[in-house]
Amino acid sequence: MFALFKVAHYPLAGQSMWRGQGLEPELALVIACLRWPSDEAAQENIRHCARSTLDWEGFLGQVSRHRVTSLVFETLRRACGSAVPSTIIDRLAGAARSEARNTMRQIAETDRLIGVLAGVGIGALVLKGPVLSVVAFDDPFRRDSRDIDLIVRGEDLDRVDAILGTDGYQRRKPEPGISAGQLARYRRWVHEFSYYSPTRKLILEVKDRVDPMMSVPPVDVTAHISNPRIVGVGGVDLPTMPDTDHFLYLCAHGSRHSWFRLKWVADIGAMLRHVSLDLDVVRRRAAELDVDRCLHTALLLAGALLEASIPEAMLAQANADAGARRAQTAARKCLMRLGRDADPFRSFGFTMRLFLAEYNMRSDWGYRRAVLQRHALSYAYPLLRPVIRMAERLRRSA
């Protein structure tokens, strides 16, 4: 772990907090590969970082830990395939092909599920995944996706749950068989149901809002479901949120997780470069949704790590936000954290860092009180579960 804090010979360009506090060459190379599209200057930077990389197994571990296999393989292949050991390129190529097969299955299954739900009058939106890959990178195969994310109206979630149960999906969260009261409490504090299909070997998450806390950000998903942004993905048309709200959702999502995966920063950088976002509209919308700090943190990270082009006025606003600067510092520590088997969650204190990141997303005390309540309940539930189950059995037998 101490090796993470040594000064590398090639510190990142960008904001001053990254200068003189270099990263390991392997992590620096991963970051260099995340700028998309990669122009000649970016490719020269990749070659520069590749020449200093000695621990190629460590490099592959960082690629996997940050879930950026497809993007890194493509940019590395274009920039300096000959400067990288052929065995490393071959392993990256194999992993990228596996991700591409998974992406194709996700596209087909997402299209099928949207059709199944539409057939019974239920609208849905697709978040992240191949849809975001097309929007941000103009290619469905540049972004690795672990699962399919759908969002539906809150009043439709029970029907969706029943439909998925008859369609071969096994619900993992919340656990099957819980009482109506337990389910109501779960839905108050958790915004998603998680499923797995053994036959399709796909994970599906269905949300009824964009964040566990309804106020971060309070996006009206009903309006977006009624009038979605349609994106062509691999020959099918899939509905998603408009670019401005999708972008701010990514800012809030990354901030809630303290940006511990570079994948999320790469999404922000690609959207800033590739999508025709009106940043004045984005700024006003962020203020309306009260996610200014999330936006500012995202801009600081994208500017520091990926040299994203950000208007000077917006960058000045971000730098003037002390909370965003603190969040950027915390994010740096989180994205460098490895832990056992390159799993950051297996390092001491990492979960607490994520809690603090969510707590500090907003300074509103009503929001912070709700975050404290939710986390207190999540820690207490495993201890209280036997008592709760006994009480349920007694109630049913009475």
C-alpha 134/C-alpha 184 separation (Å) is: 36
Per-residue confidence (pLDDT) for residue 381, from 0 to 100: 54
Listed in order, the ranges of the chain carrying CATH 3.30.460 are 101-241
User: Quick one: DSSP state of residue 362?
Assistant: -
β partners of residue 192? 207
Per-residue confidence (pLDDT) for residue 235, from 0 to 100: 92
User: Quick one: DSSP state of residue 348?
Assistant: T
- DSSP for 181-236, please give it: HHHHHHHHH--EEEEEETTTTEEEEEESSSSSSTTSS---HHHHHHSPEEEEETTE
The one-letter amino acid code at 390 reads M
Alpha-carbon Rg of the chain, whole angstroms? 22
Per-residue confidence (pLDDT) for residue 383, from 0 to 100: 54
Q: What are phi and psi of 127, to 5 degrees?
A: -110, 145
Task: Write the CA distances from 25 to 12, 30, 42, integer angstroms.
Answer: 10, 9, 16
Which of 241, 240, 242, 238 lies closest to 111 in space, CA to CA?
Answer: 238
C-alpha 227/C-alpha 240 separation (Å) is: 9
Per-residue confidence (pLDDT) for residue 81, from 0 to 100: 62
C-alpha 351/C-alpha 348 separation (Å) is: 8
Q: What is the pLDDT along the chain (398 residues), one digit of tens a residue?
A: 333 333 333 334 333 344 434 678 899 999 999 998 888 888 888 888 888 877 999 999 999 999 999 999 999 988 876 778 889 999 999 999 999 999 999 999 999 999 999 999 999 999 999 999 999 999 999 999 999 999 999 899 999 999 999 999 999 999 888 888 888 888 888 889 999 999 999 999 999 988 877 666 677 889 999 999 999 999 999 999 999 999 999 999 999 999 999 999 999 999 998 888 889 999 999 998 889 999 999 999 999 999 888 888 899 999 999 999 999 999 998 888 877 677 888 888 888 888 888 888 888 888 888 888 877 776 655 554 565 456 556 656 65
CB 138 within 8 A of CB 132: no
The one-letter amino acid code at 241 reads M
Q: Judging by DSSP bridges, how do beta strands 202-207 and 148-151 pair with one another?
A: parallel
Structure tokens at 340: 């056992």
**Helices (H), strands (E): how many in the chain?**
17, 7
Structure tokens at 53: 């990389």
Pick the CATH number of 101-241 from 3.90.350, 1.20.272, 3.30.460, 2.10.25: 3.30.460
Q: Measure CA 274 to chain center.
A: 18
